[in-house]
Structure 1
């Protein structure tokens, strides 16, 4: 998954809003804001990746053919 997808950028921007607000307010210097913005993009990428993983339905195994014996039918005793 590319870190420059629109959903990753949107979540990264959303996570960067508090950092930008602290920079405008004067609590962070411009260097501190610039150092923290890539972390916001990385956190956005991680959040989107986690949500995509959680939202993907599980893969179902392929159906067995009628000619293959079921594993439960085998007798485990020697």
Structure 2
């Protein structure tokens, strides 16, 4: 699953989202009233040789396993 990083006009990180695709990330940001100037996308291919990649994907697996356990019923 890709990681999307929303940045402001100044280049500061405004939000980081782990989402299925860009549209889902945009929907999340709109719900939080965040309108990024630019978005960086990181996939497994981008981070394959990066030293921090194992940590990031381990964290993403933890989030995915936790999100399956959340009960969203009203």
- Shorter-chain TM-score bucket reads 0.3 to 0.5
Specify the structure having the higher radius of gyration (Cα): 1
- Say which structure, 1 or 2, has more relative contact order (CA 8 Å, 6+ apart): 1
Higher strand share: 2
Structure 2 length normalisation: TM-score?
0.35
Structure 1 length normalisation: TM-score?
0.33
